[in-house]
Structure 1
Amino acid sequence: MKTNLKKELDEKVIFYNRPDFIKDDPISIPHLFSKKQDIEIAGFFAAIFSWGNRTTIINKSKELLQLMDNAPHDFCLQHTPADLKRLEQFKHRTFNATDLLYFVEFFKFHYSQYPSLEIAFTKGMGKKDITVENGLKEFYNYFFSLPDIPQRTKKHIASPDKNSGCKRLNMFLRWMVRNDQAGVDFGIWKNISPAQLICPIDVHVARVSKRFNLLQGNHTDWKAALELTSHLRRLDKTDPVKYDFALFGTGVVEKY
């Protein structure tokens, strides 16, 4: 059964993990850029906005980037008060200008010290860490380490400490870390291994995973994300999260 399942899922990975997949997915947003820091920031916003309709997510991400003159790294580091004023009109679902201004403040703080966002996710990780769990926990603490944090903004960044599945952050990490030459994921981060990634999980992925006997229940919490990824590791221990393409594509595109 395992051999048959691996064969089926591998075929679906090949089918969905290709450039044709990009245009209808939020990963199309960081693909608008070539500068590493722009890819990181644009990708982060696109991932954080990723709940609901994919077309809306893509359009709202483009709207935000236009407000940043389509140069998010330069904007975060060099914005003026007038530039920030432009952001006050932005809103995506429950993410509003208060949240956005804090995100921009964090990016200015971080990129004033570091050349990449990767260090923000590796601060809490040790060499023996099997997964990115500790990295995600410390990222939450680091992200909200600035003074005068709007309490409402904390709901937009997940953490395993809160038993969240961290779907959007895990998706972002997949984009930045995986590098298989297929042209979808970027592979621009080198200090996190694809083997350490956790599969993004939402209701669609959970439903399909349960049907494939990769998940016991319909939960989308951190325990479920670990359970799913442990099964996927048995299919490919070096790159388990490549199966996100298969599970997501089967659930959302094929509506399996």
Structure 2
Amino acid sequence: MRRELQKRSPVQIKKLKPFLDKWVERIEQRDYINEDPILFMHAFNHKEDQLLAGFFAATMAWGRRDIVIRKVRDLLERMNNRPEEFIGNFSDDDADRFEGFKHRTFKPIDMIWLTKILQSILQEFESFECFWNACYQKAQQTGRPLMAVFHENFFALQSNTPKRTYKHVSNAEKKSSCKRLYLYLRWAIRKESPVDLGLMDFMPASELMVPLDVHVARQARKLGLLSRTYNDWWAVEELTETLRLLDPKDPAKYDYALFGLGVAEDGLPEELIINPTLGK
């Protein structure tokens, strides 16, 4: 049985704002880009190339960042480093471009079908942002989570997509934290950032959810910002609502602070830890 975690009161949470803001400023710097998969969005000048390269980079952001970067670079080289052109002109004759590709549970078959779906998006919606906007509007109208609608609409474009590929695009209605999708939206929506590009305008940064990985969740629990013990969709909702107390217009920026606290040697001061037995 998991023990109860302590949760700070709203007043106590707000007292952490100067400390967390300092860590956001420390981590959210230009030099962060070179060691993070977001570098592939910065590598292109054309918006559609940036959005498509970024989507693959975020979708594959699983495991050590240096390995993710190496694998995304390999994938984009197979696309001749022209993702929009490659995806737009893709045919079954190009499928052998992905032969031998592997990253975690991603196999060539997954990259083929993800490419086919993105091609359908470009053909039917003209841009990736227009597709996101259609999903967002439907989510607003139905009251469903955005990532549930995105997942449903994404795979509806290619009904023959093998079921194994579905797992690579998260669904909030399946309890997933949707970490990689919200990481992507953080990259693409937040503006006036030295790291995030602010390329899309279909939703405000105030509605972004925190990209919840195990490291961010661990620091949030230590600080008493998160009481849920599972890294699922409900934990994302809880932590994001907590961080909106600190900045209702841009809660996702604290992803930088919690990430930084997890990797820095001079990270979390002992006096701020209220749930101490959660590991490093």
Cα deviation, residue 136, structure 1: 1.3
Change (3 A) 1:144 1:174: same
Say if 2:181 is the partner of 1:169.
yes
Q: Structure 2: how far apart are the matches of 1:163 and 1:70?
A: 35
Cα deviation, residue 32, structure 1: 0.9
Post-superposition CA distance 1:72-95 (Å, at most 9, x none)? 000001135443211122111100
Change (3 A) 1:159 1:81: closer
Say if 2:234 is the partner of 1:223.
yes
Match of 1:178 in 2: 190
Q: In the alignment, which of 163, 181, 189 is matched to residue 151 of structure 1?
A: 163
Change (3 A) 1:133 1:201: farther
Answer with 148-157 or 246-255: which moved more.
246-255
Q: Structure 2: how far apart are the matches of 1:48 and 1:5?
A: 32
Match of 2:199 in 1: 188
| Contact 1:26/1:57 (8 A) holds in 2 | yes
Summarize the alignment of residues 89-168 of structure 1 with structure 2, pairs less than 5 Å apart: 89-126=100-137, 129=140, 134-145=145-156, 146-168=158-180
Amino acid at match of 1:74: E
| Contact 1:206/1:215 (8 A) holds in 2 | yes
SS in 2 for 1:179: coil
Q: In the alignment, which of 217, 220, 223 is matched to residue 206 of structure 1?
A: 217
Q: Structure 1: how far apart are the matches of 2:126 and 2:210?
A: 27
Q: Structure 2: how far apart are the matches of 1:28 and 1:36?
A: 14
| Contact 2:187/2:197 (8 A) holds in 1 | yes
SS in 2 for 1:11: helix
Q: In the alignment, which of 243, 248, 251 is matched to residue 232 of structure 1?
A: 243
Q: Structure 1: how far apart are the matches of 2:165 and 2:139?
A: 32
How large is the Cα RMSD of the aligned pairs? 2.0
Q: In the alignment, which of 38, 41, 52 is matched to residue 49 of structure 2?
A: 38
Post-superposition CA distance 1:129-172 (Å, at most 9, x none)? 5xx96321111011111121101001111111101000000100
Match of 1:4 in 2: 15
| Contact 1:42/1:65 (8 A) holds in 2 | yes
Match of 1:16 in 2: 27
- Which segments of 5 or more consecutive residues in structure 2 lack a partner in the other structure? 1-11, 269-280
Amino acid at match of 2:171: S
Post-superposition CA distance 1:20-50 (Å, at most 9, x none)? 1111111112111111111111111111111
Answer with 116-125 or 223-232: which moved more.
116-125
**How many percent identity over aligned positions?**
38
TM-score (norm 2): 0.86
Change (3 A) 1:61 1:127: closer
Amino acid at match of 1:37: E
Amino acid at match of 1:246: A
Q: Structure 2: how far apart are the matches of 1:219 and 1:253?
A: 24
Q: Which has the higher contact order (CA 8 A, sep 6+)?
A: 2
| Contact 2:87/2:115 (8 A) holds in 1 | yes
Cα deviation, residue 212, structure 1: 1.4
Q: Structure 2: how far apart are the matches of 1:225 and 1:219?
A: 10
Q: Structure 1: how far apart are the matches of 2:185 and 2:161?
A: 24
Q: Structure 2: how far apart are the matches of 1:64 and 1:14?
A: 32
Q: Structure 1: how far apart are the matches of 2:165 and 2:84?
A: 21
Post-superposition CA distance 1:166-201 (Å, at most 9, x none)? 000010010010002x32101011111000100010
Q: Structure 2: how far apart are the matches of 1:137 and 1:178?
A: 21
